[in-house]
Structure 1
Amino acid sequence: MSVKTLHPDYQIYSPKWRLVRDAVEGESAIKRVPERYLPEFVPKDPERYKRYVERAYFLGVTGRTRAAMSGMVFRKDPSYEIPEQLEELVFNADGAGTSIEHIAKEALGGVLDTGRHCFLLDYPTIDDSIDYETEQNIGARPLLLSYQAESLINWKYEKINGRRVLTLAVLVELVQDENKTNEFDHDVVKNYRVLRLRDGVYTQQMYDDGGQAKSEEFIPRVAGGMPLDHIPLYIVGAENNLPDIDDAPLYDLSVLNVAHYRNNADLEEAGFITGQPTLHMNIGETNPEVFAEQNPDGVQLGSRRGIITQGGSVELVQPEERSLLVQLKESKEKEMVGIGARLIQRGGPSETAEAARINASAESSTLDQVVNNLSYALTGALMDAGRFVGLAPQAVEEIRYDLNTDFFETDLDAQQLMALIQLGDVGILSRSLQREAIRKGRIHIPHETEDQDIDSEIAGTPL
């Protein structure tokens, strides 16, 4: 076994991930390896197969659905509580100028595509003799690194003190080839970053493309020189953030999208073969040799051309407009609408906003789950960042990063607004809760808000 060993679950799920990734990217990806999604003819006919692929088109439902779901989340900015020492991470999380919001968008797409995405909170290797103040002066700071599901090729969990704890993770990173001789080359090689938990201490080690160690195993240390007692890798799932791989939310839609593509390819092929009028000519009693002599130019269609026969008839044969292939294709379009691809057939002007919300309820609940998992993971990574820079435990616990879960525009009607005002008049709601209700479009008191807090705010509000 080597550092390149793949986890058994990785081998099971990676083909599904590729299917969804291709469906999201669209026609260019679907046709990149044509035989992957359109079976070749038997016996083989390369020229005909090439035309078969060219005529087919892929309806980009999966990609549009994913973009719509992302738009629902990021129509409002994330909310966060981040101390001053970590504020730079908001706008430059990975050291390359990528904001946390951008990383969150990429991660949301990744979880929708594969059911999994990873965040690693990394910190530069600092000499043990350097104190915290010197670290700050040289600009050492934590980095939030983002990894697609395909990058985490192996992992192990162990039960420690009754909890499942991540003890091994192998991440693949694509880097420029250090041995290239031409500065204009774009060759990349794989590096393997191995994260371990040894006797309760977090370590890292790098391996090259050949599986050989590039560095010694080292211990990343937080401010003050202490090691971490856990691997700061956060694996986000579609259902939860537990070790097992979750099913990709967009997988079923992708399968149907590709099946629709196959029906479309067959329909276009059938249309090409049978859709053009076919001339059927009955030459009656005319001898074929005589017919050839009388019509030296053969049979030509058009109003200024004619043919000579003794009896017989001529007709054009065309297929009927409806066919089984058309019905299969339309059936899949309706199924895609049911799964969540309403971008194909959206309701007309008569559809109300409430009806649109009801139609999207299944997708919203799945999306809500994914978003909450992402927020939890990002918050955990940022809390580790706080530990690396030496924040007090209380300050670390106050860190949070929450993505928007208000996916639809909601407004209070006149009756609800009047009720909201009256609740304030009789001392049930404070002004801050009234304003929050107007923002969210619904009257709601958060569970964590204590009655005495509301009463204190009302008592301190001038009339």
Structure 2
Amino acid sequence: MSDVTFTRPEYKAAQYRWRLVRDVCKGSETIKAAGDQYLPRPNASDESADNKARYDAYKKRAVFYNATGRTKHSLVGAVFRTWPTLTVPGALDYVSKDIDGQGVSVYQQSQSVIGHVLEVGRHGLLVDYASVKSGSVSKADEQSGRARASVASYVAESIINWKTRMVGGQHLLSLVVLRETVDVDTDDGFGSEQAVQYRVLRLDAAGVYTQEVWEEGSSATTMVTAPFSPLNGAGQQWKVIPFQFLGSENNDTSIDDSPLYDMAEINIGHYRNSADYEEAAYLVGQPQPWMSGLSDQWRDHLEAEGIFLGSRAPWLLPQGGACGMMQAQPNTVAKEAMDSKKEDMVSLGARLIERGSAVKTATQADNDSAAEHSVLSLVVSNVSEAYSQCLVWMAEFTNAAGEALYKLNQDFSQVSLDATILTALFNAVQGGKLPAGDFWQYLRDRGVIDPEKTDDQIRDELETESPGPALDDTEVVPNGRKPSDP
């Protein structure tokens, strides 16, 4: 019997890590809502109402310092400090404004994807083509947006099952099962409910790509869309599944480590130390007055008159009496533990952009002359390659010819324009020692040239520009005649 809801063992094993990092990046509200999952309950065996109220107060006083979430946003911001380079055929120009059919540009979607890969080390992109009901797609359909290629983004938790098989000497995806949550309108037309469905992508026995959809019901999961075979722009069936895995280490089907997991674990430890520190500060942090040498009669007299604090309310004590203020010593153990964990989080965040902290694949090494690179640059390289592949598939869906490339910035230092270097590079181009395209790329990376302009566009603009007025031809001699006049 078919079980479309089956999940792979490695998927189940990774779920705890994924949830931890996701929750930590969401912030204090999510962490505290999880209760004792992240903050153990003191005296957990005591189920009394008083103990539960004490735990609620203990949790409220705790401070969650979201270093992990802020680090993720800072890393994504470092990538987009310099605008990506997008090169696509004219038929795919729309991806710069809407790549998923919902108004999200390739830049916005890739920002989100980088964040997901940093969190859990895994993501997925599906290239699809929404055909019109008639079965034939006209140019007007494509221009109006009724039918065009798109890229759907899938978080790691949605990719529940996958398989590969050897085809022609290479491993190809043969099965991908995606768990989707869709909104279903209620009968009154105003409300909505969420339903779960499973999109199945597979290569059938003949090596043809097919899709089918299953819907989860109250008693069973049934197929609601029979298997169908999408066609490419030439009207041919696909021989591969146009689904691209992304990872923090490489873009194969294996589940990679989460770059932010270690920081998230320390972040939770810092939160627990904070709860203990704030509890101690609340219980014994305030100064406590004391008196000694009082007789019973004197004690009763003070209780009857009342004891007030302040310079205008002196305490009258009997002969031999004494008083003072008792102040608890600082809880240095919890404070030192918090400070140590904060330093560890800073160190871990820095290592994500430190060169030499990750290993490149052979393909990546060929594409980048740098021998060492950071975890972040590896993630960015993987995302760039994944989107470039998706753009190629989109071009195949629309039968568009031309280069398809998406390249994200991998230089995370503050980009500046060095006049000396700029002059030297210009002279090298003029002297035939440096290709003009490399010089233009240098200017693209520093925001001088629009990063979306291709070399051909720059060359055409330079060739069509006016050379300016011919000053030499307007030179006039004192008698009003040019030197060339007779």
TM-score (structure 1 length as normaliser): 0.83
8 Å Cα contact 2:161-2:177 kept in structure 1:
yes
Counterpart of 1:246 in structure 2 is: 256
Cα distance in 1 for partners of 2:244, 2:117 equals 13
| Counterpart amino acid of residue 54 in structure 2 | R
| Counterpart amino acid of residue 317 in structure 1 | M
Alpha-carbon deviations, 1:173-218, whole Å to 9, x = none? 221124x223332421111111111121111111112221111111
8 Å Cα contact 1:295-1:307 kept in structure 2:
no
Alpha carbons of 1:175 and 1:418: their partners in 2 closer, same or farther (altered >3 Å)? Answer: closer
8 Å Cα contact 1:131-1:224 kept in structure 2:
no
Cα distance in 2 for partners of 1:48, 1:360 equals 47
8 Å Cα contact 1:175-1:188 kept in structure 2:
yes
Cα distance in 2 for partners of 1:100, 1:30 equals 31
Counterpart of 1:142 in structure 2 is: 149
Cα distance in 2 for partners of 1:281, 1:390 equals 91
Counterpart of 2:269 in structure 1 is: 259
Alpha carbons of 1:415 and 1:390: their partners in 2 closer, same or farther (altered >3 Å)? Answer: closer
Counterpart of 2:370 in structure 1 is: none
> Is residue 320 from structure 1 mapped to residue 329 from structure 2 by the alignment?
yes
Alpha carbons of 1:216 and 1:440: their partners in 2 closer, same or farther (altered >3 Å)? Answer: closer
Alpha-carbon deviations, 1:230-249, whole Å to 9, x = none? 11111110100011111111
Q: Deviation at 1:326?
A: 0.8
Cα distance in 2 for partners of 1:156, 1:258 equals 35
SS of the residue 2:274 aligns to: helix
RMSD: 2.9
8 Å Cα contact 2:354-2:374 kept in structure 1:
no
User: Which deviates more from structure 2 when the two are superposed, residues 204-213 or residues 230-239?
Assistant: 204-213
The 5 Å alignment of 1:78-93 reads: 78-93=84-99
Cα distance in 2 for partners of 1:97, 1:438 equals 30
Cα distance in 1 for partners of 2:396, 2:427 equals 46
SS of the residue 1:195 aligns to: strand
| Counterpart amino acid of residue 295 in structure 1 | E
| Counterpart amino acid of residue 204 in structure 1 | Q
Q: Deviation at 1:339?
A: 0.7
Cα distance in 1 for partners of 2:444, 2:211 equals 45
Counterpart of 1:291 in structure 2 is: 299
8 Å Cα contact 2:27-2:64 kept in structure 1:
yes
Alpha carbons of 1:136 and 1:439: their partners in 2 closer, same or farther (altered >3 Å)? Answer: closer
SS of the residue 1:97 aligns to: coil
SS of the residue 2:99 aligns to: coil
SS of the residue 2:392 aligns to: helix
| Residue in structure 2 matching 1:277, options 277, 283, 287 | 287
> Is residue 161 from structure 1 mapped to residue 168 from structure 2 by the alignment?
yes
Q: Deviation at 1:9?
A: 1.4
Q: Deviation at 1:406?
A: 2.6
Alpha-carbon deviations, 1:106-155, whole Å to 9, x = none? 11111011101111011125579637668658842112111111111221
Gaps of 5+ in 1: 343-356, 442-461
8 Å Cα contact 2:353-2:374 kept in structure 1:
no
8 Å Cα contact 2:353-2:376 kept in structure 1:
no
Counterpart of 2:363 in structure 1 is: none
Alpha carbons of 1:232 and 1:182: their partners in 2 closer, same or farther (altered >3 Å)? Answer: same
Cα distance in 1 for partners of 2:91, 2:164 equals 32
Cα distance in 2 for partners of 1:423, 1:192 equals 57
8 Å Cα contact 1:202-1:230 kept in structure 2:
yes
| Residue in structure 2 matching 1:100, options 81, 102, 106 | 106
TM-score (structure 2 length as normaliser): 0.79
The 5 Å alignment of 1:323-402 reads: 323-340=332-349, 362=357, 365-391=374-400, 395=401, 398-402=403-407
The 5 Å alignment of 1:190-201 reads: 190-199=196-205, 200-201=207-208
> Is residue 219 from structure 1 mapped to residue 212 from structure 2 by the alignment?
no
Counterpart of 1:209 in structure 2 is: 216
Cα distance in 2 for partners of 1:207, 1:300 equals 74
Counterpart of 1:3 in structure 2 is: 4
Counterpart of 1:21 in structure 2 is: 22
Alpha carbons of 1:93 and 1:434: their partners in 2 closer, same or farther (altered >3 Å)? Answer: closer
Q: Deviation at 1:11?
A: 1.1
Cα distance in 2 for partners of 1:358, 1:187 equals 42
| Counterpart amino acid of residue 5 in structure 1 | F
Cα distance in 2 for partners of 1:50, 1:38 equals 11
8 Å Cα contact 1:411-1:438 kept in structure 2:
no
Q: Deviation at 1:314?
A: 2.3
SS of the residue 1:204 aligns to: strand
Cα distance in 1 for partners of 2:133, 2:184 equals 27
Cα distance in 2 for partners of 1:426, 1:215 equals 64
Q: Deviation at 1:340?
A: 1.3
8 Å Cα contact 1:294-1:308 kept in structure 2:
no
Q: Deviation at 1:260?
A: 0.8
Counterpart of 2:63 in structure 1 is: 57
Cα distance in 1 for partners of 2:325, 2:434 equals 79
Report the structure number with the largest CA radius of gyration: 2
Counterpart of 1:406 in structure 2 is: 411
SS of the residue 2:24 aligns to: helix
Alpha carbons of 1:390 and 1:150: their partners in 2 closer, same or farther (altered >3 Å)? Answer: same
Cα distance in 2 for partners of 1:225, 1:290 equals 103
Alpha carbons of 1:411 and 1:212: their partners in 2 closer, same or farther (altered >3 Å)? Answer: same
| Counterpart amino acid of residue 73 in structure 2 | A
Alpha carbons of 1:425 and 1:206: their partners in 2 closer, same or farther (altered >3 Å)? Answer: closer
SS of the residue 2:174 aligns to: strand
Counterpart of 1:456 in structure 2 is: none
Cα distance in 1 for partners of 2:122, 2:353 equals 27
8 Å Cα contact 2:286-2:327 kept in structure 1:
yes
SS of the residue 1:174 aligns to: strand
Counterpart of 1:306 in structure 2 is: 315
| Counterpart amino acid of residue 74 in structure 1 | F
Q: Deviation at 1:101?
A: 1.0
Alpha carbons of 1:47 and 1:309: their partners in 2 closer, same or farther (altered >3 Å)? Answer: farther
Alpha carbons of 1:47 and 1:137: their partners in 2 closer, same or farther (altered >3 Å)? Answer: closer
> Is residue 151 from structure 1 mapped to residue 161 from structure 2 by the alignment?
no
Alpha-carbon deviations, 1:304-355, whole Å to 9, x = none? 153655644322221223611111111111111111169xxxxxxxxxxxxx
SS of the residue 1:314 aligns to: strand
User: Which deviates more from structure 2 when the two are superposed, residues 217-226 or residues 65-74?
Assistant: 217-226
Percent of paired sites with the same residue: 35
| Counterpart amino acid of residue 238 in structure 1 | S
Alpha carbons of 1:377 and 1:273: their partners in 2 closer, same or farther (altered >3 Å)? Answer: same
Alpha carbons of 1:424 and 1:98: their partners in 2 closer, same or farther (altered >3 Å)? Answer: closer
